[in-house]
Amino acid sequence: MIIDYHSHIKWDRDTNQYDTAALLQDMEENQIDKRVVSALAGFSAREQNNAVAELVKANPERIIGSAVINPKERGCVEEMERIAASGYFKTIELDSMEHCYYPETMPVLDTIIEIAAANHMPVNVFTGWGCRTMPAQWAYYAKRHPDMTMVLLHMGTTDFGYGCVELVPQYENLMVETSCMYEFPILRKAFSQIPKERFLFGSHYPDKLTVCSVHTFDLLKLPEELKECMFCKNAERLLSCFSKAGGGTAG
């Protein structure tokens, strides 16, 4: 079984439509059993999250909702409360590059993370590519909120990959997601220093090819137990993703 912990859904600006068919077809073609999906593109976080809620409602056994929260929006706390109560989302996503902010200078993030932790929702954060996306900036919140699980998306990539490997073992509530990390020296160091229970496989569909993300690890000859943890068991445990999506409304 493969659980893809990190993907997005294609958006057409002209029609304001999301391509759910392409996302589901990609899952079929690449034997992805379940996929965590967020809508990073769109006119507002509320509309984007509503699109994901509809996708979850239509595919509750295969799609796991992740809500995008932009801490620069006026109603970000209200949106966080709304999605937590809706029953259609199991994680949230914070992207300091997409929304252009320095994580450590956004005090409202404490409130957002508190709501996430109270609702047992992992907090996924963008790392890599620039001074707003350093893993250490997000570890600031991991230390302040030890009851929250934070997932460092992309493992810091090539900008901060080595630093990410050094950082994660210092915090019990940090995990890493693998998409966009193709540097074998960093991966080898990560698999030797980070416990196998901290890895989550992600594809970053549609920005990256799912087939490439899946086969990135073939040449590393990883132990089967580690691969099982990374591709399935860790996400299964973190999300309890075999339970059906809850009720509620995302409107």
Domain definitions of the chain by residue range: 3-239
Give domain 3-239's CATH architecture: Alpha-Beta Barrel (3.20)
Parallel, antiparallel or unpaired: strands 11-12 and 17-18? antiparallel
Who's near 28: CB < 8 A, 6+ residues apart? none
Residues 15-67 have pLDDT tens digits of 999 999 999 999 999 999 999 999 999 999 999 999 999 999 999 999 999 99
Q: What is the pLDDT of residue 245?
A: 43
Average pLDDT for 144-149: 96
Q: Rounded to the nearest 5°, which phi and psi values hold at 124?
A: -95, 130
User: Each residue of 201-213: b (16+ CB within 10 Å) or e?
Assistant: bbbbbbebebeeb
> Which structure tokens are listed for 5?
């912990």
Q: Please, what's the b/e burial string for 72-102 (b: 16 or more CB within 10 A of its CB; e: otherwise)?
A: eeeebbebbebbbebbbbbbbbbbbeebebe
Instruction: Inform me whether the pLDDT recorded for 203 exceeds 80.
Output: yes
The whole-number pLDDT of residue 249 equals 45
pLDDT tens-digit map of 72-124: 999 999 999 999 999 999 999 999 999 999 999 999 999 999 999 999 999 99
pLDDT band for 158, please (50, 70, 90 cuts): confident
What is the mean predicted confidence (pLDDT) over 151-170? 94
What confidence tier does 250 reach under pLDDT thresholds 50, 70, 90? low
